[in-house]
Structure 1
Amino acid sequence: MTVSAPESAPETRVRREHRTPPRKPRPAPTARGFSPLRIVGMAFVWLFTALNVVILYWLVTAAFKTPIEIFNKPFHLPYTWFERGDPFRNLRYAWENAGFGNAFLVTVALVAVSSVVIVAVAAPAAYALTRLGVRGSNPMTNFFAIGMGIPFQTLVIPLFIGMADLGLTNNLFGMFLVYVALSLPFTVFLLTGFFKSLPDELEEAAAIDGASPFRTFFTVMLPLARGGLITALILNAIGLWNETLLAIVFLTDNANFTLARALFTLYGAASYQSEYGGLIAGVAIVVLPMLVMYILLARRIITGLTLGAGK
């Protein structure tokens, strides 16, 4: 019986050097060559972005201009109020004369409480529909999806009649109830995607350790869904901050006005008095806080929505 001699180290090294390298992955179709559709899409995106930047520039500069400057020199930098030593005159007019100071506090409190309660109610509902095997959970989830498709404008008159019978019109608590009720379908539907994406193993391990469904939800699953909860909270806050129609219908007392409702009232007074600088300053007070909030939290919002939709 013959025994073959072991290969020498130089021969092994030569064989290793002649191995076929791994095949490189093919580039994406849009990354190869010329793509007219991609160029048109990018041009449209940049055009839309530039248009929004121009509008934002005009809004911010017009908030510091006199009415003459607004109409005669719409894209010039403001100078009249700065020369007179009163650059914040328009902002002060909107804040004090139009009642934006009180409206700002009312809006912050109402939006903050409503957003927290909406998420606090929607999270257990979404968890029960997706993780507890509740009978009829799929039809109930579809029911919430149908609720998203109903325009709330069609519910304004029935809501007003019902709230008037209960004495909850021109009442911040009634406004809070309306905000929560109309925002729940979207929030529940959004959070179901996050709870479906969570791993089953952790829930099973908690059940083996003797944890009740209540404890499992609060100690295990809820921290894992933190990204979805924050996304839902931010989206609800932005939507409620900009809500106008319900505030116009349900609120009539100046002390209960939200910022959007106060801006609607300011529009009539400013148009009559030609206080267009104060009117635009009021628009800036309403728009800029949510714009800054979105810019700071845009990455978290997009990531949260992507995770919820991708699972």
Structure 2
Amino acid sequence: MFVLLWVAFNIFLLVWIVLTSLKRSKDVFDAPYQLAAAPQWDNYVSAWSVAEFGTAFANSVLIVGISAVLVVGLAAPAAYMLSRARTRSAGPLTTFFAIGMGIPLQAVIIPIFVLMQNISSFCNEQFGWWDDRLSLGMIYVATSLPFAVFLLTGFFQSLPEELEEAAALDGASTLRIFGRVMLPLAQPGLITALVLTTVSLWNETLLALVLIVDTDQQTLPQALLGLYGTMQYTSNWGGLFAGLVVVVLPVVLAYWWAGRRIIEGLTVGAGK
């Protein structure tokens, strides 16, 4: 019952934000729960142009997309080896990744900043070029790996070993077994890890604020904060809610798409 109430509240909140984004700024406070008399689609145009959402959206897609793919690409073989290893170090290594999930980002933000500054200075001196988006992507991969490895380790452990043994008897190597047998079976887990990583990085703000200085390289959460500062002085609250919709809607669509794919993958696996 509590879960249903929580889901209903979140759906109501999402619908309210979308409807408010179409109101005049005056109506946002005067009639917060009423429909807009005339939809103000200009709010989206204003938010997109004032906050430069086009550049920020492209940066977020580039950084988050590449980082999420790298996270899953690195976590999958690591998780597979940890789930199938028979050595004494496999258990402690899995625990090590689990511990990494519990380290708060705020506790290591200063070392991260110093490390990225040193890398940036070195590359600028040696090669004359560095892009802060690379710094952000590297940290995104490093901070997202513990969760992805921990999640996929449990998923690989749930898969039967009989197919691996049969493939090994046919002469398949470990690499071939992993690529041809285990990865297709692990598709639901891989999609889950990819989507959860994408969603968490899409909403990430602290690291972006610390590592990204150039406005041409800022991500959507940074652009939304800039929009909030601008709209606060211009009192364009409808435009601010329009900016919220632009940031939130891709995450909602990702969950909707992922839910269907995960169910399909589980159904195919059960059928086989």
TM-score exceeds 0.5: yes
Runs of 4+ in 1 over 6 A off after TM superposition: 302-305
Displacement after TM superposition at 1:139 (Å)? 0.4
Structure showing greater relative contact order (alpha-carbon pairs closer than 8 Å, 6 or more residues apart)? 2
Q: Which runs of 5+ in 2 are unaligned?
A: 122-129, 267-272
Match of 1:101 in 2: 54
Helix, strand or coil at the partner of 1:166 = helix
Question: Does the C-alpha gap of structure 1 residues 290 and 212 become closer, same or farther in structure 2, counting only changes over 3 Å?
Answer: same
What is the CA–CA distance in structure 2 between the aligned matches of 1:280 and 1:137, rounded to whole Å? Answer: 48
Match of 2:185 among 200, 218, 224: 224
Within-5 A mapping of 1:48-127: 48-80=6-38, 82=39, 87-127=40-80
- Asked if 1 retains the 8 angstrom alpha-carbon contact of 2:75 and 2:149, the reply is yes
Q: Which digits, 9 at most, give the CA deviation of each residue in 1:194-237, with x for residues without a partner?
A: 11112111111222222211111111111111111111111111
Displacement after TM superposition at 1:128 (Å)? 0.9
- Asked if 2 retains the 8 angstrom alpha-carbon contact of 1:144 and 1:185, the reply is yes
Displacement after TM superposition at 1:170 (Å)? 6.5
Displacement after TM superposition at 1:122 (Å)? 0.2
What is the CA–CA distance in structure 2 between the aligned matches of 1:67 and 1:59, rounded to whole Å? Answer: 13
What is the CA–CA distance in structure 2 between the aligned matches of 1:268 and 1:170, rounded to whole Å? Answer: 26
- Asked if 2 retains the 8 angstrom alpha-carbon contact of 1:94 and 1:282, the reply is yes
- Asked if 2 retains the 8 angstrom alpha-carbon contact of 1:103 and 1:262, the reply is yes
Match of 2:105 among 149, 152, 156: 152
- Asked if 1 retains the 8 angstrom alpha-carbon contact of 2:44 and 2:239, the reply is yes
Q: Is 1:183 paired with 2:144?
A: yes
Match of 2:127 in 1: none
What is the CA–CA distance in structure 2 between the aligned matches of 1:54 and 1:215, rounded to whole Å? Answer: 48
Task: Give the counterpart letter for 1:69 in structure 2.
Answer: D
Displacement after TM superposition at 1:57 (Å)? 2.2
Q: Flag the structure with larger Rg.
A: 1
What is the CA–CA distance in structure 2 between the aligned matches of 1:297 and 1:198, rounded to whole Å? Answer: 21
Match of 1:292 among 253, 258, 269: 253
What is the CA–CA distance in structure 2 between the aligned matches of 1:49 and 1:137, rounded to whole Å? Answer: 39
Displacement after TM superposition at 1:76 (Å)? 1.2
What is the CA–CA distance in structure 1 between the aligned matches of 2:115 and 2:66, rounded to whole Å? Answer: 23
Question: Does the C-alpha gap of structure 1 residues 275 and 116 become closer, same or farther in structure 2, counting only changes over 3 Å?
Answer: same
Displacement after TM superposition at 1:51 (Å)? 2.3
What is the CA–CA distance in structure 2 between the aligned matches of 1:227 and 1:301, rounded to whole Å? Answer: 5
- Asked if 1 retains the 8 angstrom alpha-carbon contact of 2:20 and 2:241, the reply is yes
209-218 vs 129-138, which moves further: 129-138
Helix, strand or coil at the partner of 1:222 = helix
Q: Which runs of 5+ in 1 are unaligned?
A: 1-41, 306-311
What is the CA–CA distance in structure 1 between the aligned matches of 2:3 and 2:150, rounded to whole Å? Answer: 29
Within-5 A mapping of 1:259-298: 259-298=220-259
Q: Which digits, 9 at most, give the CA deviation of each residue in 1:90-127, with x for residues without a partner?
A: 10111112100111111112111111110000001001
Q: Which digits, 9 at most, give the CA deviation of each residue in 1:66-95, with x for residues without a partner?
A: 110000011111125x4xxxx311101111
Displacement after TM superposition at 1:257 (Å)? 0.8
Match of 1:205 in 2: 166
- Asked if 2 retains the 8 angstrom alpha-carbon contact of 1:129 and 1:141, the reply is yes
What is the CA–CA distance in structure 1 between the aligned matches of 2:86 and 2:152, rounded to whole Å? Answer: 16
**As a proportion of its length, which structure holds more helix?**
2
**What is the TM-score when the length of structure 1 is the normalising length?**
0.78
